[in-house]
Amino acid sequence: MDNFNIENFELYVTNAMSADEKMVFEQKIFDDPQFAADFEHFKTLKAGIRKQSLQDRLDILKKNIDHKPSEDPEPLRHSWASYLLYLLGLAILMALIFYLVRSPEKPETQPSLPAVHTQKQDSLQQQDLDSLRSDTMRFIPQKTVVPAVKGKTSVSKQDKGYADNEFTPKNQWREAMALYSKPQNLASIMRDGPSESDKKFNDAILLFKASKYQEVTALIGNEKDEKNLYLNAHALLLTGKTQQATVIFRNFADDDFSTYHEESRWYLALALFANYPETKDELNSLTAQLLTVPDYKQKVADLIAKMK
């Protein structure tokens, strides 16, 4: 494994290659067994480094938890004395306030004026009441009623139980799709004697580029190899089947050895957001992790803004 290959491996895993470079890279994996073996060794080493870093953090956390403060009776005695003095001062202050409150000054009374009612005053009072009712009615929200269609009952937005800007499944999926962009590391497999799975993948790529996502899931929905599963997850997400997409993206995100590990964490966040707020806890944890990745920092910031 030479330095040139290591640099290319790092660029591919961090999604820093262009679409053409990724196509050449993936083609070389299929054509060069030694190159493919070196790439697998690289992913193993990278995953090991990541796990070792996590283990070091856990060891530090355990040391902080196991550390017990020394028990010194002298500071405890000082703290109790200070606490008692504080209570005594508070009691004196409360007694003083109670004493002051119990002896309020007698308020001055205004001399009452004889009530004189005239017909003109009654008319003015009635006009004031009418004006008050009119002003009040302007601030009472009115129901917006959808015109009735034959065979259907008109229902107002308030009767639905939610407003247009609330977290409803349809609204959430549209908001998630506003942040979605197609992956760049999908390339057709061009080699002699492709397998049946490879042929389906090549056909599915063409359908995916043509935005025929339901046909993609119909074609490769039962395939179990990594590249077909990843492409199918995108097609499911784009057709609104977010829960099925979530399961596939989560498996890739949890697999440190997967080629699609890093990208899948972002698409998993979109799939979780499409089911927000039921997925609030998992989504909050995932976005906190992605904020530390430079390539996804701005995307995650935009996603968090939509969650508020």
**pLDDT tens by residue, 181-222:** 988 767 655 555 688 888 888 999 999 999 999 999 999 999
Cβ atoms 29, 39 nearer than 8 A: yes
3-state helix, strand, coil split of the chain in percent (to 5) is 70, 0, 30
Cα distance between residue 279 and residue 258, in whole Å: 24
Residue 158 scores a pLDDT above 50: no
In a domain, 33, yes or no: yes
Work out the average pLDDT over 58-65. Answer: 73
Three-state DSSP state, 286: helix
Cα distance between residue 268 and residue 293, in whole Å: 15
Largest CA distance in the chain: 110
In a domain, 291, yes or no: yes
How many domains would you assign to the chain? 2
On the CB side of 169, CA atoms within 13 Å amount to 4
CA angle 214, 215, 219 (to 5 degrees): 120
Work out the average pLDDT over 295-302. Answer: 90
Give me the phi and psi of 284, to 5 degrees please: -60, -40
Cα distance between residue 220 and residue 232, in whole Å: 7
Residue 138 scores a pLDDT above 60: no
In a domain, 127, yes or no: no
CA angle 248, 221, 228 (to 5 degrees): 65
Residue 157 scores a pLDDT above 50: no
pTM > 0.85: no
For residue 43, the model assigns a pLDDT of 86
Amino acid at 135: D
Which of residues 230 and 150 earns the better pLDDT score?
A: 230
Burial of residue 256 (CB within 10 Å: 0-12, 13-18, 19+) is middle
Average pLDDT of the chain? 77
In a domain, 148, yes or no: no
Which of residues 23 and 57 earns the better pLDDT score?
A: 23
Give me the phi and psi of 141, to 5 degrees please: -60, 130
For residue 156, list its beta bridge partners.
145
In a domain, 234, yes or no: yes
In a domain, 83, yes or no: no
**Length of the chain, please?**
308
CA angle 49, 51, 52 (to 5 degrees): 65
In a domain, 113, yes or no: no
For residue 86, the model assigns a pLDDT of 81
Residue after which a domain boundary falls, among 12, 29, 45: 45
Secondary element (H or E) of residue 218: helix 213-220
Work out the average pLDDT over 216-234. Answer: 92
Most confidently modeled range among 34-43, 98-107, 269-278: 269-278
Work out the average pLDDT over 23-43. Answer: 88
What is the Rg, in whole angstroms, of the alpha carbon atoms belonging to the chain?
Answer: 34
In a domain, 19, yes or no: yes
What residue numbers bound the domain in which 303 lies? Answer: 169-307
